[in-house]
């Protein structure tokens, strides 16, 4: 049961971080500075953007809401793909990436679910409608909350990783499935069918583009940071395991 | 494949001897019927026909949750899960055996539940029985397959009874949408909606494949 050669053995000694993760650390500080600079420009552009003639100032949620949505979907795809790679290659760093993707995805999704109804109340007159995108997003939010709960309720590091990976893959399968369902059974969408830059008013394109860029960089930054944190935790567990068992020489630096 | 048949026989025999799972699921379904009656005090006789598909599936899903939790918790006693993991061949066949057993038990409970609901709410389901059976069977394959996979995860975590519904329900929503739509058509004696049936078949296929492949990873460390 506890064969050290089997990377899936339940209580195998935690291993050191991979070369990939060690290279990751270099990007964090530059990404942070880039993000800080972008935030300033982004905030300025949103303040300067013209106020919508029909919707008023509430229309400025546009510069936050859709970019959050892209981040949320991206996070969930990262989780599913990283989980799949983990099951395939059985390398722990991809499990750590999956955690990062899910947590950051849930944050983006939550913020999207908060900003959406505020905008909806201001323009459609009610907080919620059961249209395709809203329902799909709500379902995905539940799937990834369940993913995080599964992780925190499961026992044993490696088993948790496997269970979570299977559930994460299921989550990604559910995205097209749910989309298909709502296309058939759902009501008509209140969202615009396509959001091309041409459909935006004068002076709204740039802040929107900046919003997308800034929140994308924020997404990458947060995922990298979270990944790094998980890696440091694994490293520390590895070190403690080495101290607790001095005979295990392979664990000593 | 013989592994799957053996597990199916073992589960059904165990259930036949104790009858505790089916009995608790049935009682729960009955309680749901009473709860629906009190939740919808203004419903008139003709309203129940419209409401029945949704109510039936609500009862089906929640009583299935009870059964699924128990189905895998059973295997924890005497460390039976290790024995299952050691079964010869691909572990996916263990999944198929458990799924089949769950399918049979849930289907039985669903049939009785439908009869009881028809009686209590005064809706004639006899004429609709063949179409209804097809739709319910298609929906139940999906519930049993993904429920068995997720149950095997939930059962080995803390708060297992709480975790299974949280894991399972988001995966059941697409299935429920199709099943309720097709059930409504069956109850109202309309032609079955092709899209919904197609959808149920696709979801069943996906869940069976995901379960078959995923179970290999779930039982790995027993």
Instruction: Give me the interface pTM, i.e. the ipTM.
Output: 0.86
Question: What are phi and psi for residue A131, nearest 5 degrees?
Answer: -90, 175
Give the residues across from A187 on adjacent strands. Answer: A131
Top residue of B149, B174, B179, B196 to mutate, by most chain A CBs within 10 Å, is B174
Q: Is B153 on the interface with A (CB under 8 A)?
A: yes
* Tens place of pLDDT per residue across chain A (253 aa): 444 444 454 444 445 667 777 788 788 889 999 999 999 998 898 888 888 777 778 888 888 888 998 899 899 999 999 999 999 998 888 999 999 999 999 999 999 999 988 888 888 888 888 776 787 788 889 999 999 999 988 876 788 899 999 999 998 888 787 777 767 766 555 566 544 444 666 778 888 888 889 999 999 999 999 998 988 888 888 888 777 766 655 544 4
Contact B177 A181 (CB under 8 A): yes
Identify the burial level of B182 via C-beta atoms within 10 angstroms of its C-beta, where 0-12 means exposed, 13-18 middle and 19 or more buried. buried
Classify the C-alpha dihedral B114-B116-B122-B125 as positive or negative.
positive
Q: Is B196 on the interface with A (CB under 8 A)?
A: yes
* Tokens (6 digits) for A31: 């990404």
Contact A178 B158 (CB under 8 A): no
* Tokens (6 digits) for A104: 């950051």
* Tokens (6 digits) for B178: 């199709």
A52: DSSP letter: B
Q: Is A114 on the interface with B (CB under 8 A)?
A: no
Top residue of B153, B194, B210 to mutate, by most chain A CBs within 10 Å, is B153
Contact B157 A154 (CB under 8 A): yes
Contacts of A106 in chain B (CB under 8 A): none
Is residue B123 a contact partner of residue B187, using CB atoms and an 8 Å limit?
Answer: yes
Over the stretch B20-46, which tens digit does the pLDDT of each residue have? 889 999 999 999 999 999 998 888 878
- Min Cα distance A34 → chain B (Å) is 37
Q: What is the pLDDT of residue A245?
A: 67
Contact A162 B195 (CB under 8 A): no
CA distance B85 to A147: 24
What does the buried/exposed string (b/e) look like for B186-219 if buried means 16 or more CB atoms within 10 Å of the residue's CB? bbeeeebbebbbebbeebbebbbebbbbbbbbbb
Contacts of A185 in chain B (CB under 8 A): 177-178, 181
Q: Which residues contact B35 (CB under 8 A, 6 or more apart)?
A: none
CA distance B194 to B219: 37
Closest CA to B174 of B198, B152, B149: B198
Residues 48-87 of A with CB under 8 A from B: 87
Classify the C-alpha dihedral B77-B81-B87-B93 as positive or negative.
positive
Task: Name the residue with tokens 């990604």.
Answer: A172
Judged by DSSP in three states, A187 sits in strand
CA distance B202 to B180: 16
Nearest residue of A to residue B181, measured between CA atoms? A185
Q: Is A95 on the interface with B (CB under 8 A)?
A: no
Over the stretch B118-174, which tens digit does the pLDDT of each residue have? 999 988 888 888 999 999 999 999 999 999 999 998 888 888 888 999 999 989 988
Q: Is A148 on the interface with B (CB under 8 A)?
A: no
Q: Is B50 on the interface with A (CB under 8 A)?
A: no
Closest CA to A227 of A18, A12, A13, A15: A18
Contact B199 A87 (CB under 8 A): no
Q: What is the pLDDT of residue B53?
A: 92
Give the residues across from A154 on adjacent strands. Answer: B157
Q: Which string of DSSP letters, residue by residue, matches B87-144?
A: SSS-THHHHHHHHHHHHHHHHHHHHHHHHHHHHHHT---TTTHHHHHHHHHHHHHHHH
Contact B210 A170 (CB under 8 A): yes
């Amino acid at each position: 049961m506890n064969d050290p050669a089997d990377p899936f053995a339940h209580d195998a000694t935690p291993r050191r971080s991979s070369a990939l993760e060690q290279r990751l650390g270099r990007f964090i500080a530059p990404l942070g500075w880039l993000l800080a600079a972008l935030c300033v420009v982004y905030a300025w552009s949103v303040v300067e953007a013209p106020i919508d003639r029909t919707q008023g100032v509430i229309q400025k949620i546009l510069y936050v809401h859709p970019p959050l949505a892209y981040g949320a979907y991206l996070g969930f795809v990262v989780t599913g793909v990283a989980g799949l790679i983990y099951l395939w290659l059985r390398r722990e760093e991809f499990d750590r990436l999956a955690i990062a993707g899910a947590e950051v995805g849930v944050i983006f999704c939550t913020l999207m679910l908060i900003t959406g109804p505020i905008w909806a109340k201001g323009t459609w007159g009610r907080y919620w409608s059961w249209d395709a995108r809203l329902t799909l997003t709500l379902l995905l939010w539940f799937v990834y909350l369940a993913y995080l709960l599964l992780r925190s309720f499961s026992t044993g590091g490696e088993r948790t990783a496997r269970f979570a990976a299977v559930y994460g893959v299921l989550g990604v399968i559910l995205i097209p499935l749910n989309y298909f369902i709502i296309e058939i059974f759902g009501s008509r969408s209140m969202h615009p069918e396509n959001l091309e830059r041409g459909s935006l008013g004068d002076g709204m394109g740039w802040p929107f583009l900046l919003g997308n860029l800034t929140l994308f960089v924020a997404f990458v930054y947060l995922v990298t940071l979270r990944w790094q944190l998980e890696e440091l935790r694994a490293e520390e567990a590895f070190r403690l395991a080495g101290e607790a068992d001095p005979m295990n020489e392979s664990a000593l630096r | 494949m013989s592994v799957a048949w053996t597990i199916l026989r073992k589960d059904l025999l165990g259930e036949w001897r104790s009858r505790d799972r089916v009995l608790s699921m049935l009682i729960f379904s009955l309680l749901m019927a009473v709860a629906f009656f009190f939740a919808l005090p203004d419903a008139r006789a003709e309203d129940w026909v419209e409401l029945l598909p949704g109510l039936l599936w609500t009862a089906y899903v929640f009583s299935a949750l009870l059964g699924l939790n128990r189905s895998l918790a059973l295997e924890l006693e005497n460390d039976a899960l290790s024995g299952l993991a050691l079964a010869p061949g691909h572990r996916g066949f263990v999944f198929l055996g458990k799924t089949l057993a769950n399918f049979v038990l849930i289907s039985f409970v669903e049939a009785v539940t439908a009869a009881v609901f028809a009686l209590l709410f005064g809706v004639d389901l006899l004429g609709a029985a063949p179409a209804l059976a097809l739709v319910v069977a298609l929906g139940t394959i999906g519930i049993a397959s993904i429920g068995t996979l997720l149950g095997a995860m939930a059962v080995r975590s803390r708060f297992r009874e709480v975790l299974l519904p949280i894991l399972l329900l988001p995966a059941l929503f697409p299935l429920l949408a199709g099943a309720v739509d097709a059930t409504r058509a069956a109850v109202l004696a309309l032609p079955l909606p092709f899209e919904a049936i197609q959808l149920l078949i696709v979801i069943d296929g996906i869940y069976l494949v995901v379960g078959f492949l995923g179970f290999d990873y779930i039982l790995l460390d027993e």
